[in-house]
Amino acid sequence: MSVLLDHTAERVPLSSSEPQEKDVHPTPLLRVKELRVTVATSAEVVHGISFDVPKGTAVGLVGESGSGKTLTCRSILGLLPAGAEISGGDIEFAGDSITTLTRRDAVRLRGTRIAAVFQDPASYLNPSITVGAQLAEVFRVRGRLPRKAARDEAVELLHAMGLHRPAHVYTQYPFELSGGMLQRVLIAIAIAGEPELLIADEATTALDVTVQAEVLELLSQLRRDRDLTLVVVSHDLAVIAQVSDEVHVFRDGHIVESGPTRQVLRTPRHPYTRSLVDSHERFGIDHIRRQRDDR
Ligand SMILES: Nc1ncnc2c1ncn2[C@@H]1O[C@H](COP(=O)(O)OP(=O)(O)O)[C@@H](O)[C@H]1O
Ligand SMILES: [Mg+2]
């Protein structure tokens, strides 16, 4: 097993007794460096994207549909669609390059240290198996727990996901749950293996606004309580504004603006970011901006 995949392998800190300049910027959990992605038509669609995700933070990627957010996430996950490939740059996780992992190691990394949730949670569940059994399976296989213990862990995690009557939810089939409940189940499945990084790509897009806000609050809570680092991806600036400390604005496969979320919302520098902020004034982003100022 490589060091990268070993939970127990702590990285030796760089620091010595003398405080040094570089200690101010410890290795980020995730570093995307000059990432380029090319699709089957041999067209480059991601043109050298760079950003860091420091441990314990929530980083937002925002931009209109087709701007390259999902291909960037899938590159991180080692899950690019057929025909798409990383054609330049590098991705580092906890200081190690993960772009050149073997398929097997990439699968293992995804199963342990990096997890993801996407839009349309129902499509990731087996319709003919109860959601509880599907979650318990993670504890049985990854945690090697016996059946009863896996069930108990699953019920407890469903409870922690804010689902009422978790023991009952455990016995339900996907079609019996609302979209918001299903996304909570998917988040439970994603974090059951205690990953360090969770990528949520348009994870709340299909939900109505109130439920969306609740699921975003759940993500923030998991970050606080479980030491989870988040990458939150949305075409909707309001979603990013609610959860992320830093934001990167995508347009046509480039990052056109980056900065602390509050700053980008208050004083967007790029005309495209300004248009995103302006188009949201009407939908209450001002309200979120004020909330952040009050903190
Ligand atoms: N499997 C694919 N084959 C060919 N082109 C793709 C594929 N997936 C995405 N693209 C193209 O790559 C660009 C970026 O897509 P994507 O990363 O999905 O954008 P976003 O998530 O920001 O909406 C788009 O122009 C899209 O059409
Ligand atoms: Mg997308």
Burial of 259 per CB tally in 10 Å (0-12, 13-18, 19+)? middle
Q: Answer whether 99 contacts ligand 1 (Cβ < 6 A).
A: no
- Among 186, 188, 185, 183, CA closest to 206: 183
How high is the pLDDT of residue 282?
59
| Calpha distance 125→135 (Å, rounded) | 10
Q: Taking 80 as the threshold, does the pLDDT of residue 75 lie above it?
A: yes
Residue 6 in tokens? 């070993």
Q: Which long-range contacts (CB under 8 A, 24 or more apart) does 268-275 make?
A: 273/249
Cα of 34 vs centre of ligand 1, distance in Å, is 18
67 CA closest ligand 1 atom index: 22
Q: Answer whether 66 contacts ligand 1 (Cβ < 6 A).
A: yes
How high is the pLDDT of residue 101?
82
CB-side neighbour CA atoms (13 Å) of 177: 30
* Mean pLDDT over each residue of the chain, to the nearest integer: 88
User: Which residue out of 45, 235, 240, 255 has the highest number of ligand 1 atoms within 8 Å of its CB and is therefore the one to mutate?
Assistant: 45
Q: What is the 3-state secondary structure of 121-178? A: HHHHCCCCCCHHHHHHHHHHHCCCCCHHHHHHHHHHHHHHCCCCCHHHHHCCCHHHCC
How high is the pLDDT of residue 277?
87
- Please give the average per-residue pLDDT across 256-281, as a whole number: 90
Q: Answer whether 54 contacts ligand 1 (Cβ < 6 A).
A: no
CB atoms within 10 A of CB 182: 22
Cα of 50 vs centre of ligand 2, distance in Å, is 18
Q: Answer whether 38 contacts ligand 1 (Cβ < 6 A).
A: no
- Please give the average per-residue pLDDT across 218-224, as a whole number: 96
255 alpha carbon, closest ligand: 1
By the 8 A CB rule, do 239 and 204 touch?
yes
* Residue bearing the CA closest to ligand 1, atom 10: 39
- pTM equals 0.88
How high is the pLDDT of residue 41?
80
- Among 251, 247, 179, CA closest to 215: 179
74 CA closest ligand 1 atom index: 17
- Alpha-carbon torsion (170, 171, 175, 178), positive or negative: negative
Q: Which residues contact 16 (CB under 8 A, 6 or more apart)?
A: none
Q: Answer whether 45 contacts ligand 1 (Cβ < 6 A).
A: yes
How high is the pLDDT of residue 1?
34
Q: Taking 60 as the threshold, does the pLDDT of residue 238 lie above it?
A: yes
Question: Virtual CA dihedral for 77, 129, 214, 159, nearest 10 degrees?
Answer: -110
65 CA closest ligand 1 atom index: 23
**CA of 208: how far to CAs of 51, 97, 174, 212, in Å?**
30, 38, 18, 6
81 CA closest ligand 1 atom index: 1
pLDDT tens digits, 241-263 = 999 999 999 999 999 999 999 99
Q: Taking 50 as the threshold, does the pLDDT of residue 10 lie above it?
A: no
Cα of 38 vs centre of ligand 1, distance in Å, is 10
- Please give the average per-residue pLDDT across 214-229, as a whole number: 95
* Residue bearing the CA closest to ligand 1, atom 3: 39
- Among 213, 258, 227, CA closest to 61: 258
- The residue type found at 88 is G
Q: Answer whether 39 contacts ligand 1 (Cβ < 6 A).
A: yes
